[in-house]
Amino acid sequence: MAERIGGDALRVTRDVGIGATDYPSRVTRHTLRISSGEPDFVRRVEELSGEDVFACYQCGKCSAGCPFTSGMDLLPAEVLRLLQLGDERVLSSRSPWVCASCLACEVRCPKGVDIAKVMEALRLLILRKGETGLTWREIPPGVPQIALVGATRKLTP
């Protein structure tokens, strides 16, 4: 349902399916505010990634082909959907930290959204506050430097 909440802003209330494992509930009642602009963090994700998250039409191809979904709390398409809704829960999702930028989604997205860039932007929002996505007590023995450099570059400030 939709109601006018002043000026040209509309409030749309609808059910949004959330299908990921471990997410609080499989169906969440959502309030979508359509107004003159999206929240700052969504705009920032779009700036950092250079991608239009509103281009996504939820076909789910990215989620179907993603080899890392078993470790994700939100599927890639759900990450995009929450961004479209301006839902801040996307900022505390584990999914961007499980994404390995393998670009399987990028080559298949029919709308040309580079989802790996969106995931990177979500990581950067956290990393640029000085927080880290990589905690280790010791460097795992035998792991080559190509992995260590990759992990520290993607997952630490």
Partner 1 sequence: MSNEAKAFIAPRASHVARHAADKSPSRVTRHALPYFPGCALKDQARGFERAAQAAMERLGYELAELPRWNCCGTVYSLSSDDLMRHVAPVRNFIRVQELGERRLVTLCAMCYNTLRRSARFVSTDPERLQRINAFMDEEPDYAGGVEVLHLLQLLRDEIGYEEIEARVERPLYGLKVAPYYGCMLLRPREVGIDDPDRPETMELLFEYLGAEAVDSPHKVECCGAYQTVANPEIARERVLEIVGAAARRGADLIVTSCPLCTYNLEHHQLSVPGDASHVTGDKSSTRHALPVTRHVIPILYFTQLLAFALGAPGEELGFEQAAVDPRPVLAQRVGG
- Report d(CA 126, CA 103) in Å as an integer: 21
- Report d(CA 45, CA 112) in Å as an integer: 16
Choice between 1 and 146, CB closer to partner 1: 146
At residue 122, φ and ψ (nearest 5 deg) are -65, -40
Phi-psi region of 142 (alpha: psi -120 to 50; beta: other; left: phi over 0): left
Choice between 12 and 149, CB closer to partner 1: 149
Which DSSP letter does residue 79 get? Answer: H
Query: Which chain residues interact with partner 1 by CB under 8 A?
Result: 21-22, 47-50, 67-68, 70-71, 97-98, 100-104, 106-108, 114, 116-117, 119-121, 124, 133-136, 139-140, 142-151, 153-155
Choice between 72 and 82, CB closer to partner 1: 72
Choice between 17 and 150, CB closer to partner 1: 150
Q: What angle do CA 87, 119, 101 make, to 5 degrees?
A: 160
- Report d(CA 24, CA 137) in Å as an integer: 30
CB of 101 to partner 1, least distance (A): 6
CB of 39 to partner 1, least distance (A): 19
Choice between 28 and 101, CB closer to partner 1: 101
CB of 141 to partner 1, least distance (A): 11
CB of 49 to partner 1, least distance (A): 7
